[in-house]
Structure 1
Amino acid sequence: MRIDLPRPSRRRLSLTSLIDVIFLLLLFFMLSSTFTRFASVEIAAPGGGGGTAPRPKIFATVDAEGLAINGERFADAEAVRAKIEQLAESGADTALLVPKEGARAQDLVTALERLRAGDRLKVVVAR
């Protein structure tokens, strides 16, 4: 004669501890993260038509190959800084930056940072 023992019934899993862990993780990530911007880029748009604004002495274009100022292409930031210093001494105070086809957003931001080095120029972005 064989006697079968009753199978132990499964207990339902309590979700209370799981909810506690999720709540603690949520608190940890909320308190350890920052909600501030790391950097922002100010972009000035060209003004409305109708007026006779002076032409900017600096015309810069940016594309996939890099930055060109007044038709001369520059590879590094120091060369751009030297050219900006030279043009600023000759009376240039505004630069017009035109992104060309193939320019990425990062190329535009890099060109803006290089043109604004030293805060000597106001950079206007045209499309």
Structure 2
Amino acid sequence: MNADNLTQILHQGFRVTLGATSSMIEMLQDSHKRNENLEKIQSQWSQLAQEWAEKGEQTEEEARKFVDTILEQQSNSGATETTTSTSSSSMTTTPVSVSEPDSAEDLQELTAQIAALRLELERLRGSESSN
């Protein structure tokens, strides 16, 4: 098996999981969608997996944009704080190690965080459209 194929399969699986989680959240929030999605599950499993993968890809992109925006805002505010501080003060940074989630509990926690980010993004979009 080619490493690229394995990477693609894993990424597709991640997107399917992300899309399924996103759909489950929608189902919990809206009873009409719940009934609609349950009928889909019973009749069209492979097509639904493809839809979940697409929805997962979209959610992944939205989450990346959201996180990038937050990081950009923090770096901009950090730059402002640095320029306004006196030259005698020094800024220390602590390296943060990033590791792969290696347990089901970590994966569930990350999934919950993604869901929370998605809800926050939807809330922000709703407040922008009302303005």
Query: What TM-score does the superposition give when structure 1 sets the normalisation length?
Result: 0.24
Query: Relative contact order, CA 8 A, sep 6+: which one is greater?
Result: 2
Query: What TM-score does the superposition give when structure 2 sets the normalisation length?
Result: 0.23
Which structure shows the higher helix fraction?
A: 2
Which structure shows the higher strand fraction?
A: 1
Largest Rg, 1 or 2: 1
